[in-house]
Amino acid sequence: MRTDTGRVVHLADYRPTDFVLERVDLTFELDPEDTKIESRLIFHRREGADPQAPLVLDGDELTLSGLLFDQIEMDADRYTATASSLTIRDLPAAEPFEVTVTTIINPTANTKLMGLFRSNGIYCTQCEAEGFRRITYFPDRPDVLAVYTVNIIADKEANPLLLSNGNFLGGAGYGDGKHFAAWFDPHPKPSYLFALVAGDLGLVEDTFTTVSGREVALKIYVEHGKEPRAAYAMDALKRSMKWDEEVFGREYDLDIFMVVAVSDFNMGAMENKGLNIFNDKYVLADPETATDQDYAYIEAIIAHEYFHNWTGNRITCRDWFQLCLKEGLTVFRDHEFSADQRSRAVKRIAEVRHLRSEQFPEDSGPLAHPVRPTKYREINNFYTTTVYEKGSEVTRMIATLLGRDGFKKGMDLYFDRHDGDAATVEDFVKCFEDANSVDLAQFSLWYNQAGTPQVTVSSAYDEKASTFTLSLEQVVAATPGQPTKEPMVIPLSFSLLSDDGTVLTPSSVEGGKVAGDVLQLVERSQTFVFQGIASRPVLSLNRGFSAPITLHYPQSKDDLAHIARHDSDLFSRWQAVTDLALPALTAAARNAASGAAVESDDALADVVVAIAADESLEPAFRAQVLALSSEADIARELGSNNDPDAIHAGRQTVLASIAAHGEQTFKTLFDTLNAAGSAYSPDAAGAGRRALRNSALLYLTFVEKSPARAAEAFAKADNMTDLSQALSILAHQFPDAEETRAALASFETRFADNALVMDKWFQIQATIPGDMALDRVNALLANPHFKGENPNRVRSLIGSFAFANPTGFNRKDGAAYDLLASQVLDIDGRNPQLAARLLTAMRSWRLLEPMRADKARNALMRIESAETLSVDVRDIIERMLQ
């Protein structure tokens, strides 16, 4: 094997193809090891294209086994075939012609899980971003749209089911124990949306009647016996379809919509036209095996992939640099959907937590890139939280700036103007400009400038003049390839709270643009003066997290407590408590590092316990407050030179002091929220009660210093949420207790046959804090349940350890970095995408204290110097070490 270093692709080099693809006819003769694909392609030369230009088709690890030109075998001197391309010369200047390409591939040997592969005996495909070229030579780029007919021939007994995109045309016996099926997708699509599934699966069926009265057949395919676990996904699908009609005016456009769940999948799910393919983790759920979090993910991802039908499929991307055009927008749509289905404020808190813990570190480290990058070496490495989650935030800011109606006008124009197109970010932004007569040129920096803006704020109140003055300054740090930055448009939602918590409305504002309760920071520094403010206000800023920035606004504890009590925006109340708690957590970490005693902060404990006990607040919100900032959040606040052990120890002491303070409250919550008697329901209210009760349980273990209560909760749990929470508390707080050993063993025995539940068993153990985690992970790698070829299992053990166990992974001796390096190298040999993703767990290595950073660098250099590396891993490792 040679090491392919990959070619760098630049946005600036984009140009349309020389040939237009008119139609595609594919015939698959499926065989586990010798699948034959015949692909008939009809092209014509694009008007104005170079009449001499050859046709160049993409391939990846392919061998050509036949090539016809207009049905006749092509002369060998007219084409050149390599594993990665097929070049055909001397083609007609204007008239259409037909090329028939035959390839033979081995789906069973396809461990990269890109292209056509087998998962548990099921044939399935993953073509985004560049998987189709692993099936046949093809113009494999998103701006080549064509209508596809697909014929599938396969052994009938092993594959009663033969599926592809679009509508079913017909099927019949084929002799020799085989049968065939034909599918036709009338909607022109790029190859990355192609899908094929064959095998033997169970079916859950339903129907949906669209707003215009068309009946759509809904089919979810899962492994036999798992049908009951697809009910929630089906329900979520129907709610998604209805919501997209009501909120975005988008109706479904085929007679059938299918979802197939497979167990080996590199990502969450894929929006192939009419035939979504899912990681079964995001389809299968019942109370006994799925947590509330699992249900919420299923709802969100079913919605996400369904919403892609308009934002991604009907309007696709011109090139992969535009990935956020479909992903950022579709994440925004699924966030809005979940907010409407659940509690909007709690959903927003969870989104912001996720953004801060995943995207902010990416944006400030060696892998930082703009929401719309300008170059890539391996596009699969750009399916990032920056493209997805920050991309969603950018869309949200457009909505904030233009208001609900203005946003809707822009979206409607986008759907109208670009339906059927392969569009760009500029096309998208232009629709909002045209529909609202506004200029979004400066705003577009959000797509092009990487880095999280740091906004520093100071304020002053002048009683005599009744004015409140607000000075803001924005800085965006340098990121790879972008040493200097321009000032951005930062929409900041604000509220001026009076002493009694009412909102003060200024008579006028000078110094910049303010619309309603949103001010726009557009200069590097800018001062706003609010007139007619009769008493000293408490400013609540960036309410609802209106901009994805880091805010530096030193507010007094009293002011924060005031916001925490009075802001009408629940998100801001949560943020205020978080801001109150963070200094205590960072101080505790510093004290733990220096060996000083950690003082307990009674004022903080008062606020937290009061919120926990406040029956007027929804339980899910109270649970979010009790969760406090994570160790990663604290590390980020502390900046560089981090000692994860001190952060962990300090945080534990803060939790303990809140626990001691609120013991009675937590006991009451634990006892009264006991849902005994009421049947489990995965809805948001039930999930919120369980979340609050389980946080009370965690706090009580700090007071009781005994595993007894958690062990009892484990024994009594009647659903996976409570069971896995109790197990986590046992394992993480009492790793060596007999109760923990017994609970882990009983969990293992009970769920040995359920892969998704066993993933939790691995994950809980991989995240046990402390030095001993490494030995445990090593032992688990040798456990018979560990399956290195299953991405979910790899992520649950190695991924959880590296991403979510700060103390265990950052052992002082660097041994855990070595383990990750060895695993990355090993996994890279079969599944480069998965290996590259795991490696990003070390993206913030430079922020570690020097001893650990040194060890981390050594491990990374060992990867870099490996003899063979995939382009995927090479791209990440070189950027991380740059």
Chain positions contacting ligand ARG, by CB under 6 A = 128-129, 267-271, 304-305, 327, 380, 383
Report, in Å, the least distance between residue 304 CB and ligand ARG.
Answer: 6
> The tokens of 497 are what?
């709270």
CB of 638 to ligand ARG, least distance (A): 32
Residue 666: name its binding partner from Zn ion, ligand ARG, none (Cβ under 5 to 8 Å by kind).
Answer: none
Choice between 279 and 459, CB closer to ligand ARG: 279
Extract the tokens encoding 671.
């006892």
Cα angle 137-142-143, degrees, rounded to a multiple of 5: 105
Nearer of residues 811 and 837 to Zn ion, judged by Cβ = 837
**CB distance 875 to 377 below 8 Å:** yes
CB of 327 to Zn ion, least distance (A): 5
Residue 268 or 770 having the CB closest to ligand ARG: 268
Residue with smaller CB distance to ligand ARG, 357 or 380: 380
Count Cβ neighbours within 10 Å for each residue of 206-237 and write b for 16 or more, e otherwise: eebeeeeeeebebbbbbbeebbebbebbbebb
Q: At its nearest, how many Å lie between ligand ARG and the CB of residue 195?
A: 12
Hey, is 270 helix, strand or coil? strand
Least gap, CB of 848 to Zn ion (angstroms): 33
Which of 305, 389, 618, 631 is catalytic? The answer is: 305
**C-beta of 834 vs 869, nearer to ligand ARG:** 834
Which is it for strands 375-376 and 9-10: parallel, antiparallel or unpaired?
A: antiparallel
Q: Please, which residue, 269 or 521, has the CB nearer to ligand ARG? A: 269
- Cα–Cα distance measured from residue 177 to residue 612, given in angstroms and rounded to the nearest whole number: 65
**Residue number closest to ligand ARG, CB atom:** 383
Q: How far apart are CA 818 and CA 859, in angstroms?
A: 5
- Backbone phi, psi, residue 421, to 5°: -95, 160
Query: Could you say which DSSP state residue 479 is in?
Result: B
Note if 739 is an active site residue: no
Q: Which does 110 bind (CB under 5 to 8 A by kind): ligand ARG, Zn ion, none?
A: none
**CA–CA separation, 339 and 349 (whole Å):** 11
Nearest to 654 by CA among 713, 690, 698, 709: 698
- Least distance CB 376 / Zn ion (angstroms): 18
Instruction: Give all strands (DSSP E) within 129-231, no chain letters.
Output: 146-155, 161-164, 167-175, 178-189, 196-199, 202-209, 215-222
| Cβ proximity to Zn ion, 270 vs 470, nearer residue | 270
Give the one entry of ligand ARG, Zn ion, none that residue 21 binds, where binding means its C-beta sits below a cut-off of 5 to 8 angstroms depending on kind: none
Least gap, CB of 27 to Zn ion (angstroms): 30
The partner in contact with residue 836, picked from ligand ARG, Zn ion, none with C-beta cut-offs of 5 to 8 angstroms by kind, is: none
Cα-to-chain-centroid distance, residue 424 = 21
Supply the minimum distance, in Å, between the C-beta of residue 382 and ligand ARG. 8
Among the listed residues 354, 453, 844, 820, the one whose alpha carbon sits nearest the alpha carbon of residue 638: 844
Q: Select the binding partner of residue 129 from Zn ion, ligand ARG, none (C-beta < 5 to 8 A, by kind).
A: ligand ARG
Strand pairing report for 35-45 and 9-10: unpaired
**Sole residue written with tokens 């909102």:** 503
> CB under 5 to 8 A by kind: which of ligand ARG, Zn ion, none does 270 bind?
ligand ARG
Nearer CB in complex with Zn ion: 300/518: 300
- Which partner in Zn ion, ligand ARG, none is near 128 (CB below 5 to 8 A by kind)? ligand ARG
Q: How many other C-beta atoms are found inside a 10 Å radius of the C-beta of residue 809?
A: 23
Residue 138 DSSP class: B
* Residue 380 contacts which entry, ligand ARG, Zn ion, none (Cβ below 5-8 A, type-dependent): ligand ARG
User: What are the angstrom distances between the C-alpha of 830 and each of 291, 818, 823?
Assistant: 31, 19, 11
CA distances from residue 128 to 131, 133, 428, 490, 757 in whole angstroms, order as listed? 6, 10, 22, 33, 28
**Residue 114's closest CA among 437, 457, 378?**
378
Among ligand ARG, Zn ion, none, what binds residue 383 when CB lies within 5 to 8 Å by partner kind? ligand ARG
CA angle 10, 14, 17 (to 5 degrees): 140
Which partner in Zn ion, ligand ARG, none is near 37 (CB below 5 to 8 A by kind)?
none
Reduce the DSSP state of residue 81 to 3 states and report it.
strand
Q: Residue 583 touches which of ligand ARG, Zn ion, none (CB < 5 to 8 A by kind)?
A: none
Residue that is written with structure tokens 């994950």 in the block? 763
Peptide bond just before 460 cis, omega within 30 deg:
no
Could you say which of Zn ion, ligand ARG, none residue 622 binds, taking C-beta under 5 to 8 angstroms by partner kind? Answer: none
What is the rounded CA–CA span in Å between residue 38 and residue 36? 7
Closest approach of Zn ion to the CB of residue 260, in Å:
17
CB of 114 to ligand ARG, least distance (A): 7
Dihedral angle computed from the Cα positions of residues 367, 373, 376 and 381, in that order, rounded to the nearest 10 degrees: 50
Residue 84 structure tokens? 């990665």
Q: Which two tokens stand for residue 867?
A: 């003899």
Residue 480 binding: pick among Zn ion, ligand ARG, none (C-beta 5-8 Å cut-off by kind): none
Nearest 5°: the CA angle 248, 235, 150 is: 75
Measured CA to CA in angstroms, residue 114 lies from 109, 117, 173, 222 at distances of 11, 7, 30, 20
Rounded Cα gap, residues 752 and 747, in angstroms = 8
Q: How far apart are CA 639 and CA 637, in angstroms?
A: 5
The owner of tokens 């005599």 is 464
Residues 371 and 395: beta-carbon distance below 8 Å: no
Q: Closest separation between CB of residue 530 and Zn ion, Å? A: 41
In the bound complex, what is the minimum distance in angstroms from residue 872's beta carbon to ligand ARG? 10
> With contact defined as beta carbons under 8 Å apart, do 661 and 605 qualify?
yes
Where does this chain bind Zn ion (CB under 5 A)? 327, 330
Q: In 3D, which of 635, 583, 584, 637 has the Cα closest to residue 807?
A: 635
- Tokens representing 683? 């809805």
Residue closer to Zn ion by CB (options 327, 643) is 327
Nearer Cβ to ligand ARG (270/869): 270
Q: Which is nearer to ligand ARG, 378 or 618 (CB)?
A: 378
Residue 833 beta carbon to ligand ARG: minimum distance, rounded to whole angstroms = 6
Q: Nearer Cβ to ligand ARG, position 275 or 497?
A: 275
Closest to ligand ARG by CB, 190 or 544: 190
Residue (of 413, 404, 418, 479) closest to 445 by Cα position: 479
Task: Supply the residues annotated as catalytic.
Answer: 305
